[in-house]
Amino acid sequence: MDSQQISKILRSNEKTAKIFKGCFPCDLIPNPSHLTYPAALVVNLDSHQLKGSHWIAIYAYGTKREVIYFDSLALPVNSVIEEKFLNKFSKTIRNKKPYQSIFEDTCGQHCICFIYFLSLGYTFNKYINYLEGYPKACDLFVKKFMNKMITYFLKKINYFKI
């Protein structure tokens, strides 16, 4: 998925639209002091000069609280993201286990699902426990979930065209 697709989906949902701040390359991530909270961001591990390699999601409740870093591949935290963003918060919570197969390209879908569920009030642990209910099938879960979200999005667009 590219940044336009991710943004379109997250801005089409009533809950996620209120908190989604955008998609960013890691070197152009906004300063946390310039955001309103809660805030959800989707960040690519590549800098703006590169094509893009992998999406991660960040969910923050405020600079005086912890920030949640979700990486579907559970890669080591990107040093640019850590320095420019995560270090500005009291604590970083992150998943230690991958939920995406290295043979799949579902990182954008994983970010959307993560932001959606947290926007509904799920805690990080509740969301992780939910994913744990799909051992070896998390990618299938996010693909099916995304199909439902996209179908809803398309119906919503067609509704306004009438």
Tens of pLDDT along 121-134? 999 999 999 998 88
Give the domain extent around 89.
3-161
CATH code, domain with 36: 3.40.395.10
Q: How many structural domains is the chain composed of?
A: 1
Tens of pLDDT along 90-102? 999 999 999 999 9
Q: What is the token pair recorded at 12?
A: 């089409």
pLDDT on residue 135: 73
pLDDT on residue 151: 82
pLDDT on residue 162: 47
Higher pLDDT, 36 or 52: 36
DSSP string of 50-104? S----EEEEEES-TTS-EEEE-TT-PPPPHHHHHHTGGGSS-EEE--S--S-TT-
Q: What is the pTM of this model?
A: 0.91
